A and B are shown apart, each in its own frame.
Chain A
Amino acid sequence: MNYETIIGLEVHAQLLTKSKMFCRCSTDYASAPPNTHVCPVCLGMPGVLPTINQQAVEFTVMTALALNCTISDYTRFDRKNYPYPDLMKGYQISQSYAPFGHHGWLTIEANGEKKRVGIDNVHLEEDVAKLIHRTSPGGESYSLVDVNRAGVPLMEIVGEPDLRSPEEARQYLMKLRSILQYLGVSTANMEEGSFRCDANISIRPQDSTDLLAKVEVKNMNSFKAVYRALEYEAERQRKRAAEGKKLAQETRGWVEERGITVAQRSKEYAHDYRYFPEPDLAPLVLNREWVEAIRSKLPELPEARRDRFVAEYNLPLYDANLLTSSILMADYFEACMRGAPQKSAKPVANWIIGEFSRLLNATNTGINDSKVGPVALFDLVQLIHEGSISSTSGKSVLEEMFHTGKSADDIIKAQGLSQISDTEAIEREVMAVIRNNAQAVADYKAGKKQSLKFLVGQVMRATRGRANPTVVNELLEKKLEEG
């Protein structure tokens, strides 16, 4: 039997506020010693009162608007009760009945077609404390609690089960991350934990609406992990179904090192959350004009920017998509292009998407932390474009710029890399190569045309990549015909 995969994702994103959701402790805990950004409110001391962070509310409304949600006129917080030591109060302040936004969507590209993925709701809650699990020398297991993270504003985006493959899930996550980064509401970094994803995945017989058991997958800490976990889980469910075994409705954890999901011990009464309205917080009435004012201030979002890149810089859609998937890369590109003619756009895009991205990824460097600023990169692209250096030399120059921060000009001068377009100089090398490679020359004359490539390579090698390849090609062909 053929089965269809049904996936819905729940994403949690930490918001980029300065202070926590309900108190004034700093959210900047990443490099802080444990339990230093803590006060009676986030510690859950008796008698304290939380207060809603206005900035977190605005960020959530911005996100809900960008995700085409209907914004609630009336919204409020609820208590979600559960006994786990990462909650200092014994409950989490969340939203269950009246989220900020609901019934939204975002578009992804799947198999070359646009697809709309539903957003059930966007709501706001607080992050929990960090637990470190330990075992004492005597064999007792215990946990250490760091409360710094508890109370950091956490926005949850609940997606509809509209995704049909791990690839669509990956697209959805990348699109969502991109939107959050464009809005400036979250760093949306999965590895650092400011962007987290849980997945619901099930299969159903084709053309049926009966889902087999719904499985929740947790513990995925990168985009790649989400993709691999979902791929594994879809396959596992299909195998079990094919064997006629029953699928359990359960929560499974992704084990990165082994590349599998394993059933997690289910919490007893796990879903007895007993939500009720948070009595310590007054509800929020979201004024229409205020919401519209936020809507009008929304920044340009990835799709709009991509379309503008195509129109304004005459870039292919593919390049525009890659450049605008990250706001930092899109900003970098536009900084390169400031004052530059439109025809530079394609070569600049090529160098950013290609060699520069390769260097950034290989060294795990953020585009803004690199030693190569937009002006320096543009200068390099210009030098290549003008023929001052070859494209091959350009790669090594960029690498040198990347590691030393020197300008392209200085490196070219210091290393004598200027491209040789001087026909006489190249002719000398061409003749030498023809003399020293009799076999290849004979092959070429016997009709083996790819020998020319080898001979071009030899000339490039002799000139350390500095010879203008077009001139080398022309001269070689000419000399071979003559001789």
Chain B
Amino acid sequence: MTLVEVDYLPHPLKHPLKAVVLGTQAPVGGKELALLPILRYGCYNDHTMKLSREEVLHIALLARLGLTEAELDRFMEQLSHILENFEVLQQVDTTDVPPTAQSIPLQNVTKDDEVAASLPPGQILANAPRKEKEYFRVKAVLE
């Protein structure tokens, strides 16, 4: 797992924001995988990296995951452990390292505005858990 600390570039319009980004995702599955992208955003200003019950529940809500009590305990520990690793990384002196959000120094990668074939209709809905006619069908979510 490559971990990178990022200071967002200050922009004239917005305040600079400190955040922690996972450069590459660890090969994990299931609910852990769903929770990881949320940890990419660091809102945990606490000095100790121990996550509270409420924080884990908040993260689970953002990922739209329902957790059992046992899972809540397990993730509280595992996610806290991940954050502890960031604490180690925080100790690295990055004074002279320019901030980046990339692991490869590329820029200006674009495509021409040309149309190519889309997927055949049968394939588009092939993985849909529920469908109705040519639509994906999902539970109602109130705005």
Contacts and interface: CB of A to CB of B under 8 A. Distances in A.
Interface of A: 17-19, 24-26, 33-40, 43, 51-57, 74, 76, 81, 83-85, 96-99, 102-103, 120-121, 132-133, 140-147, 264-265, 267-269, 272, 274-277, 279, 281-285
Nearest to A51: B111
Contact of B40 (A102, A146, A276): A276
Given A18-B113, A26-B118, A143 B137 contact: yes
Contacts of B14: 96-97
B109 interface: yes
A33, A37, A121, A144 — which one has the most chain B CB atoms within 10 A of its CB? A144
Interface string B79-95: 00000000000000000
B109 A51 contact: yes
A281 B11 CA distance: 19
Nearest to A72: B11
Contacts of A102: 12-13
Contacts of B43: 274
A269 B11 contact: no
> Which 5 A-B pairs have CB atoms at the shortest separation, nearest pair first?
A277-B101, A55-B113, A24-B116, A144-B135, A141-B140
Contacts of B115: 18-19, 24-26
B110 A57 contact: yes
A143 B139 contact: yes
Given A35-B125, A142-B139, 10 more contacts: A17-B113, A34-B133, A35-B134, A52-B109, A52-B110, A53-B110, A141-B140, A145-B138, A274-B62, A275-B41
> Chain A: interface secondary structure?
loop
A282 B115 CA distance: 22
Nearest to A22: B111
B14, B21, B104 — which one has the most chain A CB atoms within 10 A of its CB? B14
Contact of B113 (A38, A56, A76): A56
Contacts of B134: 33-36
A399 B139 CA distance: 52
A81 B119 CA distance: 26
B28 interface: no
Contacts of B143: 84, 264-265, 267
Nearest to A96: B14
Contacts of A281: 109
A272 B62 contact: yes
Interface residues of B, number: 52
B38 interface: yes
A282 B9 CA distance: 15
A218 B112 CA distance: 34
A132 to B, nearest CB: 7
Contacts of B8: 97, 277
17 contacts: A18-B114, A25-B116, A35-B124, A36-B121, A36-B134, A53-B111, A54-B111, A55-B112, A85-B141, A102-B13, A120-B13, A121-B13, A133-B140, A269-B62, A277-B8, A279-B101, A283-B107
Contact of B142 (A38, A39, A144, A265): A265
B142 A282 contact: no
Contacts of B12: 102-103
B75 to A, nearest CB: 18
Nearest to A46: B33
Nearest to B40: A276
Given A35-B135, A83-B62, A265-B142, A97 B109 contact: no
A34 B102 contact: no
Nearest to B139: A142
Contacts of B58: 269
Interface string B59-81: 00111100000000000000000
A151 B124 CA distance: 15
A99 B13 contact: yes
A439 B58 CA distance: 89
A431 to B, nearest CB: 73
Interface string B3-29: 000101101111001010101000000
A61 B4 CA distance: 31
Contacts of B6: 277
Given A24-B111, A265-B142, A269-B61, A38 B124 contact: yes
B13 A39 contact: no
Given A54-B112, A96-B14, A145 B124 contact: no
B111 to A, nearest CB: 4
A76 B8 CA distance: 12
